[in-house]
Amino acid sequence: MRNNNFKAIVIIAFLSIFTLAARAQYKSVVLGVKVAPNLGWMKTDQEGYQSEGSVAGINWGLVAEFYFAENYAFGSGFTFNFQNGKLAYPDEQGQDAGILTRSYRLKYLEFPAVIKMKTNVMGGFRFYGQIGAGFGIRLSSKGKDVFTSPGNPDVTTDFRLIDSQTTLFKASMIVGAGVEYPLDNSTSLVAGINFNNGFTNALKGNNTINTDLEHHGVPNMLELSLSVMF
């Protein structure tokens, strides 16, 4: 009798586990590749410093999603982030004081850490939102300068390495939203817009005219993200 009761309990437990597994028919890990054209700019609140608009760039890399529920995932991976921008600020070259306009080409290896939230399928699509942080390591930085001073012709210096004048690490907040279109049970296309709001100053050193002022420029970026997930 006890043996029959034990068998019944085992069968009921097995059926319960099978039912829960059938309800949770989603992959726990999803990988994909991403390419994302972007517009980048340098934000600054330093006295005498001014952002000179946005500059096009591009990101690409690997995307990884780790699901802890059907519609909720921890998103990570890595991207090679080519992020650009321009600043203008007072500068002194030789005996001349003027305005230096510098174009930046910043290349980072960035590791996002976001929480991604999806809707159920609606009309063949799933919509998502995500929020989190990004942590970047500078791989290279280049600058192109145009120095303007009264009574003198502009002096232009082409792009050159300026790694000694930029910081090694950066941190940012990532906020985004988009849409996912499943192609089959294992593949989907994803398109979204992400705002990468920088927290950290990307520049080192002090202004040559007012040495009490530190160079200040925070990279910001708006990207159109296109991914294929497997």
CA distances, 27 to each of 62, 67, 73, 185, 187 (Å):
17, 7, 11, 10, 11
- Mean per-residue pLDDT for 208-213? 96
pLDDT at 129: 98
The model's pTM: 0.86
pLDDT at 16: 47
Q: Which residue has the tokens 């120095």?
A: 147
Write down the H helix ranges in 99-207: none
- Mean per-residue pLDDT for 128-155? 97
- Mean per-residue pLDDT for 3-20? 49
Single-letter amino acid, residue 79: T
Q: Percent of the chain scored above 70 by pLDDT?
A: 89
- Mean per-residue pLDDT for 98-112? 98
Single-letter amino acid, residue 95: Q
Closest-CA residue to 78 (of 93, 61, 54): 61
In this predicted structure, the answer to whether residue 1 has a pLDDT above a threshold of 90 is no
List, in order, residues 6 or more apart from 105 with CB less than 8 Å away.
Answer: 82, 84, 141, 142, 143, 159
**Structural domains of the chain, ranges and CATH numbers in brackets:** 27-229 (2.40.160.20)
CA distances, 123 to each of 85, 171, 181, 192 (Å):
39, 37, 10, 18
pLDDT at 18: 42
